[in-house]
Amino acid sequence: MKRILVPVDFSKQANCAVRVAAYIASKSGAEIFLLHMLNFPSNEADVNAHGDASSPAKVLYLKKVHEKFKEILKMKSLDGIKVSEEVRFHKTFSGIIHYSKEFKANLVIMGSSGATGLKEMFIGSNTEKVVRNSEIPVLVVKEGVGEFEMNKFVFASNFLDEVKPSFGRFLKFIAKFNGEVHMLFVNTVHNFEPTTKTNKRLQEFVAEFDLPKHTINIYNDTSIEKGILNFSKENNIDVIALNTHQRSGLSSMFNESISEDLVNHALKPVVTFKL
């Protein structure tokens, strides 16, 4: 991992995302790009892609933006990490997608607030759109995350063949952290299958990869969302990993989209990988 893109609006949530980015960069040696986007009306004075503006209002605003960047750069967690600040004029969702490609980012980290905040940001919002459309992994971090570590991961999936490419990207993502991987299939009444069948599929799936320390888990619950949340809580998981699909957003596990309940109530960071 060489480049991490962190969209910032100078909120507490964004600062939390910066701290997490600093942790990952310290492990991987990545450079962090802090991106703040402005969406001025089209009838305003012309500005170039790097935020140069001719109107007094824009000049003043840009001055304040750079002052806020200076405050972020004082964070102790960023000591020794290469950080670039970028101000661009673009709509939020399309801008994040566009600049993640321009900066050749390997990861996008976005901050979110509490339970209702996750719901607001994921469902029909910029964050949900980024998660759905990003070609690279997106890590959504909850506001208030304390001492962040990435030691225990849960990868929740149906473990069909279509998942294998994204699982490979997941393994590449976690390679620097020497963490445990908990492979999780949630069995529900509505999507029930015998344990022997599921276990055989999981064993065949993992046999194709050089896995770090891992466990294989078949967990019964009333819904996929509750199963992921309950398993993660019981096992002190640090990060929940899922697949995404452009048409349905969050992963099409068991031929259905993971409902908003998961991202609404997940207290841990959620990282997504495109199918």
For residue 24, give every residue at least 6 positions away whose Cβ sits within 8 Å of its Cβ, in sequence order, or none. Answer: 1, 4, 30, 107, 109, 150
Mean pLDDT within 117-125:
43
Structural tokens at position 24: 């990952």
Q: Fold for domain 152-274?
A: Rossmann fold (3.40.50)
pLDDT tier, 161 (very low <50, low <70, confident <90, very high otherwise): very high
Domain chopping of the chain, boundaries: 3-142, 152-274
Task: List, in sequence order, every residue forming a beta bridge with 38; answer none if it has no partner.
Answer: 89
Dist. CA 153–CA 160, nearest whole Å: 19
More confident residue, 116 or 135: 135
Whether 108 and 134 have beta carbons less than 8 Å apart is answered as: yes
Amino acid present at 175? A
Q: Which position has the token pair 């996750």?
A: 118
Residue 263: pLDDT above 60?
A: no
Task: List, in sequence order, every residue forming a beta bridge with 245; answer none if it has no partner.
Answer: 249
Structural tokens at position 138: 């997106």
On average, the pLDDT of the chain sits at: 83
Dist. CA 163–CA 81, nearest whole Å: 33
pLDDT for res 171: 95
pLDDT for res 41: 52
Q: Identify the DSSP state of 261.
A: H
Q: What are the pLDDT digits (tens) for 165-188?
A: 999 999 999 998 988 999 999 999
pLDDT for res 265: 65
Burial class (CB in 10 A: 0-12, 13-18, 19+), 235: middle
For residue 209, report the phi and psi dihedrals to the nearest 5 degrees.
-125, 150
Whether 188 and 221 have beta carbons less than 8 Å apart is answered as: yes
* Range with the largest mean pLDDT of 40-44, 57-61, 199-203, 264-268: 199-203
Task: List, in sequence order, every residue forming a beta bridge with 156; answer none if it has no partner.
Answer: 184
Q: Which CATH architecture has domain 3-142?
A: 3-Layer(aba) Sandwich (3.40)
The domains spanning 3-142 and 152-274 adopt the same CATH topology:
yes
DSSP symbols for 16-60: HHHHHHHHHHHHH--EEEEEEEE---TTSPPB-TT--B-SHHHHH
